[in-house]
A and B are shown apart, each in its own frame.
Chain A
Amino acid sequence: MNNLYLQLFAQFFHVGLFSFGGGYATLPFLYDIADKFHWYSSKQLTDMLAVASITPGPVGVNVATFAGFTTSGILGALLATTAVVLPSFIIVSIVARVLDKFKTNKTVQSAIRGIKAAGCALLTSVGIKLLFTSNLHLLGTILLGLFIGTSFIKKQDPLFYLGISAVIGLALGYFNLIGV
């Protein structure tokens, strides 16, 4: 087997296995790979992060596919992408099995209670961070207020919020009403 394929697999398996906390937790690993292997440059990685926001899928998966594809084509892309989610598959399968067994155990239940509250807090912190780093300006803030306000009356499909906001972004940008 080609050495590059093996390395791609090993490196992205490593990312999948050791990045805790998801999303941007994969970043240090990905920058590290850029330094060591030159499959992509740090600049390309920074670009990729922007791209990952407008393409489907988690950042880590997007970067894995990109690195694999640019270095060794479609097979490389397949290998790197598989490698980055394989640890998840193995770990979740084991943990889910154990949880099924000990679901009624009181200690396990209280541990899950703690984890759930912390999970909610982490999601909240992501929202707050995005709120302050997104450069919403006045119009964006109004739009967000409208979305959230109307959601109390009737919650729409996620596709609705994403679609409408994309169209509004496009329209406002066209008329030069946002600062990006």
Chain B
Amino acid sequence: MNKSFYSIFKTFFKVGTLLLGGGYVILPLLTSELVEKKKWITSDELCEFYAIGASLPGIIAANTAIFTGRKLLGFRGAVAAILGMILPAFLAIVLLASILHELIDKPTVQHIFWGVGIGVITLLFLAVKEMWKKSVNDKLSYIVFIISLALALTQKVPLALIIIGALIFGIIWQKIEDKHNGGKVDE
């Protein structure tokens, strides 16, 4: 399928519609649509967009969508992606605004919400598995992963700080490695 403004918009509209549980599932949804079905980008690229998107200010799902859209079709792709992703959210809230309060007190809605939560955790698991394969595969990444996870779970360290720490750690690690190799370029 060719990457036109409309096809990108349509794809992200679908992803935006399925973006339940607060935006965390952007990675598994995009993996399914863009990597597996349409083969527009590789899993490697997507993981990178997600990781960088998560380390910038702003809403992660939006950052990831804009990054990906830009890769697909430049500025127009970025616009198509963000519009597609935001529109379902926008419509849902505008249409439901007046009954939102009653809605969440309904047992039926609570039950659906409970169920969807299980689907969301499943998708998160699949996303972590995929991302693990692509980004945690050497000594540097194991160390960063373990320390970052521990820090994130304490809920005491701002997430931005963890990411910035990982960034600096990566650079320092490289410098030390270079020194050990005596300035030789490895690989």
CB of A126 within 8 A of CB of B136, answer no
Q: Which A residues are in CB contact (< 8 Å) with B22?
A: 23-24, 52-53, 58-59
A residues near B20, Cβ cutoff 8 Å: 53-56, 162
B135 touches A119 (CB 8 A): yes
Contact mask for chain A residues 105-146; partner B; CB cutoff 8 A; 1 contact, 0 none: 011011111111111111111111111001110001001100
**CA separation between A74 and B90, bound complex, in Å?**
10
Which of B19, B28, B146 gathers the greatest number of chain A CB atoms within 10 Å?
B19
Selected contact of A121 from candidates B19, B145, B169, CB within 8 Å: B145
B174 engages A106 (CB within 8 Å): yes
- B119: chain A residues at CB < 8 Å are 147, 158, 161-166
Q: Tell me whether A74 and B59 are in contact (CB under 8 A).
A: no
Q: In the assembly, what is the distance between CA of A52 and CA of B24, in Å?
A: 12
Q: Does B1 belong to the interface (CB within 8 Å)?
A: no
Q: Is the CB of B50 within 8 A of A110?
A: no
Known A116-B51, A117-B135; judge A57-B92 contact (CB<8 A): yes
B75 within 8 A of A: yes
A85 within 8 A of partner (CB): yes
What B residues does A129 contact at CB under 8 A? 153
Q: Are B166 and A115 in contact (CB under 8 A)?
A: yes
For the residues of A in contact with B, the DSSP-based class is helix
Residue numbers in B under 8 Å from A53 (CB-CB): 20-22, 113, 116-117
Q: Judge whether B100 and A48 touch: CB under 8 Å.
A: yes
A61 — which chain B residues lie within 8 A by C-beta? 23, 59, 62, 86, 89-90
Q: A100 CA to B103 CA in the complex, in Å?
A: 46
Closest to A107 in B: B171
B101 at the interface (CB under 8 A from A): yes
A17 within 8 A of B: yes
B42 lies within 8 A of chain A by Cβ? no
A135 to chain B, nearest CB (A): 7
Are A62 and B93 in touch, CB under 8 angstroms?
A: yes
- Complex contacts, A127 vs chain B, CB 8 Å: 121, 124-125, 128
A72 at the interface (CB under 8 A from B): no
Q: Mark B112-141, 1 if CB is under 8 A from A, else 0.
A: 111111111111111110011011100011
With a cutoff of 8 Å between Cβ atoms, the chain A residues found around residue B121 in the complex are 127, 130-131, 134, 144
Whether A26 sits at the interface, judged by CB under 8 Å, is yes
A120 touches B53 (CB 8 A): no
One of A20, A96, A161 near B123 (C-beta < 8 A) = A161
Complex CA distance for A50 and B116, rounded to whole angstroms? 12
| Contacting pair B59 A84 (CB below 8 A) | yes
Identify the A interface with B (CB < 8 A): 16-26, 44, 47-48, 50-62, 65-66, 69-70, 74, 77-78, 81, 84-85, 87-89, 91-93, 95-96, 99, 106-107, 109-131, 134-136, 140, 143-144, 147-148, 151, 155, 157-159, 161-170, 172-174, 178, 180
Closest 10 CB pairs of A and B: A169-B115, A57-B89, A114-B170, A173-B111, A21-B159, A22-B60, A58-B23, A119-B51, A20-B160, A118-B166
A sample of 11 inter-chain contacts (CB < 8 A) reads A51-B96, A55-B92, A55-B93, A58-B89, A61-B59, A81-B89, A88-B56, A91-B56, A120-B135, A144-B122, A158-B28
* Given pairs A62-B93, A121-B148, 10 additional interface contacts (CB within 8 A): A57-B88, A58-B61, A88-B82, A107-B174, A114-B141, A122-B148, A123-B124, A130-B121, A134-B121, A173-B110
